[in-house]
């Protein structure tokens, strides 16, 4: 099956009450790990690349690796998503390179560091929607700024993330503003801020409602029940993966991620796309360190990349089952980008903020 847009997958997920892991990639082994996990669990897949990933991998390599993935796994519906586009130019270049979904993160200015004004966010997001939908490509927007409710700091990840201390207003998406944002931009999915952040160091203790405000997601969902919500920074940072790294010469400090049961609570409240990258990075690093410890004399990259790929596959399979996407691969409607473009133009996906808008159809 050729790559599909994000929207029909999330509509189907909403109609069937599950969430989909959006998994970051930077190289061939990570794409292979996701595709093997998708095949093993019969899951649809969202594969995403950040600006940093596009720079590291090169767009041509990325596009052709993704092409290989869809040819080798024809039964798996795959979305190729630009993670955290910082400007309309980044999103448009992604569309040109064959991405079928883009995130315009207008919560920050195009330096990827400075929290933007609301009107700026609306304007750049609307601009991307206008272009993307003409090509049948879906758009994720972001309202609110990712950062910690424990200490108020934003997070800077490989060039993208707020710098400095943020106010509570910035750290928590406002439900009423979310209604206006979705109405004015026409986005397909909305990333919300409620205390998660990228990377391994999210919380200094197992998070409770004061630092991981899942109730905020529920409030937003009540206001815009037909808009697909997105949780960023949703790695669970399993202790056992950190322990493998530390037992083999690494130095990961004590830390806590987003518990899977909190993500499942989010899925019950309209979360359809869940971004996970750190857990896979931890799994890969642990497996490579373990391989180096076991045989310091080895130097064939296949010796340590094979277990690294398997370790990432295991994490992906686990999340695919936990988020409920397992078993759905064959049932996701295959809508071509050309058809999507016609449907967008005809207003089929028009009014996401209206409570009576119908999203998707129940699987038989
Ligand atoms: O939410 C995300 C990952 O969350 P996580 O750290 O796994 O909890 C992604 O959207 C990030 O954008 C991604 O991990 C950042 O990747 P790089 O910019 O480092 O490539």
Helix/strand/coil for 338: helix
Confirm or reject: Cβ of 327 under 6 Å from ligand 1. no
- The CA 233 to ligand 1 mean position distance, Å, reads 6
**Residue 16 pLDDT level (bands cut at 50, 70, 90):** very high
Q: ipTM, 2 decimals?
A: 0.99
Residue 24 Cβ inside 6 Å of ligand 1? The answer reads yes
> Collapsing DSSP states into helix, strand and coil, what is residue 248?
coil
Q: What is the pLDDT of residue 357?
A: 42
Say if strands 138-143 and 271-276 run parallel, antiparallel, or are unpaired. unpaired
pLDDT digits (tens, 9 = 90+) for 212-261: 999 999 999 999 999 999 999 999 999 999 999 999 999 999 999 999 99
Catalytic residue among 11, 83, 174, 277: 83
For every residue of 76-105, DSSP letters joined together read S-EEEEEEEE-SHHHHHHHHHTT-SEEEE-
pLDDT score, position 104:
98
Tell how far the Cα of 136 is from the centroid of ligand 1, in angstroms.
25
| SS3 (DSSP) at 227 | coil
Q: Over the stretch 98-107, which tens digit does the pLDDT of each residue have?
A: 999 999 999 9
Per the structure block, which two tokens stand in for 359?
């999203």
Cβ of 136 below 6 Å from ligand 1: no
Position in ligand 1 atom list of the atom nearest CA 257: 8
| Closest Cα to atom 11 of ligand 1 | 198
Active site residue 188: no
Instruction: Answer yes or no: are the C-beta atoms of 73 and 31 closer than 8 Å.
Output: no
Tell me, using a 6 A CB cutoff, whether residue 313 lines ligand 1: no
CA distance 228 to 212: 19
Q: How far is the CA of 215 from the centre of ligand 1 (A)?
A: 23
pLDDT at 2: 87
Measured distance CA(144)–CA(68) in Å, rounded? 36
Asked if residue 57 has its Cβ within 6 Å of ligand 1, the reply is no
pLDDT tens track for 108-139: 999 999 999 999 999 999 999 999 999 999 99
The pLDDT assigned to 352 comes to 55
Ligand 1 centroid from CA 273, angstroms? 13
Q: What mean pLDDT, rounded, does the chain reach?
A: 94
Beta strand residue intervals within the chain, DSSP E:
20-24, 45-49, 78-85, 101-104, 138-143, 189-192, 228-231, 271-276
Distance CA 101, CA 115 (A): 23
Q: Is 275 in the pocket of ligand 1 (CB under 6 A)?
A: yes
Q: Measured from the CB, is residue 231 less than 6 Å from ligand 1?
A: no
Residue nearest (by alpha carbon) to ligand 1 atom 13: 277
What is the pLDDT, as a whole number, of residue 358? 39
Centroid of ligand 1 to alpha carbon of 25 (angstroms): 10
235 CA: nearest ligand 1 atom:
8
In sequence order, what DSSP letters do the residues of 98-158 get, joined into one string? T-SEEEE-TTB-TTSSSBPPHHHHHHHHHHHHHHHHHTT-EEEEEES--B-TTT-BB--BT
Give the other-Cβ count within 10 Å of 321's Cβ.
Answer: 15
Instruction: Label residue 159 by pLDDT band (50, 70, 90).
Output: low
Q: Is the Cβ atom of 158 under 6 angstroms away from ligand 1? A: yes
Looking from the CA of residue 146, the nearest atom of ligand 1 is 1
Centroid of ligand 1 to alpha carbon of 275 (angstroms): 7
Question: Using an 8 Å Cβ cutoff, are 172 and 194 in contact?
Answer: yes
pLDDT for residue 353 is more than 50: no
**Is any ligand 1 atom within 6 A of the Cβ of residue 198?**
yes
Mean pLDDT in residue range 63-84: 98
In 3-state terms, what secondary structure has residue 283? helix
CA of 299 to the centre of ligand 1 (A): 29
Q: How many CA atoms lie within 13 A of 226 on its CB side?
A: 15
Question: What per-residue confidence (pLDDT) applies to 361?
Answer: 39
Q: Which atom of ligand 1 is nearest to the CA of 159?
A: 18
Evaluate if residue 41 carries a pLDDT over 60.
Answer: yes
pTM: 0.95
83 lines ligand 1 (CB under 6 A): yes
């Amino acid at each position: 099956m050729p790559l599909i847009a994000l929207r029909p997958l999330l509509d189907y997920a909403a109609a069937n009450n599950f969430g989909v892991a959006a998994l970051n990639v930077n190289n061939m082994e990570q794409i292979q790990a996701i595709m093997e996990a998708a095949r093993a669990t019969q899951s649809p897949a969202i594969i995403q690349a950040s600006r940093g990933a596009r720079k590291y991998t090169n767009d041509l390599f990325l596009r052709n690796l993704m092409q290989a993935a869809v040819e080798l796994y024809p039964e798996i519906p795959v979305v190729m998503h630009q993670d955290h586009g910082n400007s309309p130019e980044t999103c448009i270049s992604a569309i040109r390179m064959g991405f079928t979904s883009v995130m315009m993160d207008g919560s920050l200015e195009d330096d990827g560091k400075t929290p933007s004004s609301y009107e700026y966010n609306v304007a750049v997001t609307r601009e991307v929607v206008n272009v993307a939908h003409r090509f049948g490509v879906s758009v994720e927007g972001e309202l609110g700024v990712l950062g910690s409710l424990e200490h108020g700091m934003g997070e800077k990840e490989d060039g993208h993330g707020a710098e400095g201390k943020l106010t509570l207003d910035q750290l928590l998406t406002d439900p009423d503003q979310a209604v206006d944002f979705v109405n004015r931009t026409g986005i397909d999915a909305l990333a919300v801020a409620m205390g998660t952040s990228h990377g391994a160091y999210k919380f200094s203790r197992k998070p409770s409602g004061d630092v991981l405000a899942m109730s905020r997601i529920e409030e937003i969902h009540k206001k815009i029940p037909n808009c697909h919500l997105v949780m960023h920074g949703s790695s669970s940072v399993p202790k056992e993966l950190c322990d493998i790294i530390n037992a083999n010469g690494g130095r990961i400090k004590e830390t806590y991620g987003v518990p899977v049961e909190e993500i499942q609570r989010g899925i019950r409240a309209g979360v359809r796309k869940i971004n996970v990258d750190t857990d896979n990075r931890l799994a890969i690093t642990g497996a490579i360190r373990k391989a180096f410890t076991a045989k310091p004399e080895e130097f064939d990259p296949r010796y340590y990349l094979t277990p690294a790929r398997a370790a990432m596959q295991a994490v992906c399979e686990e999340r695919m089952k936990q988020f409920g996407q397992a078993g759905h691969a064959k049932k996701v409607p295959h809508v071509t980008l050309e058809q999507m473009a016609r449907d967008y133009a005809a207003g089929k996906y028009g009014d996401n903020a209206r409570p009576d808008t119908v999203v998707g159809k129940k699987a038989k």
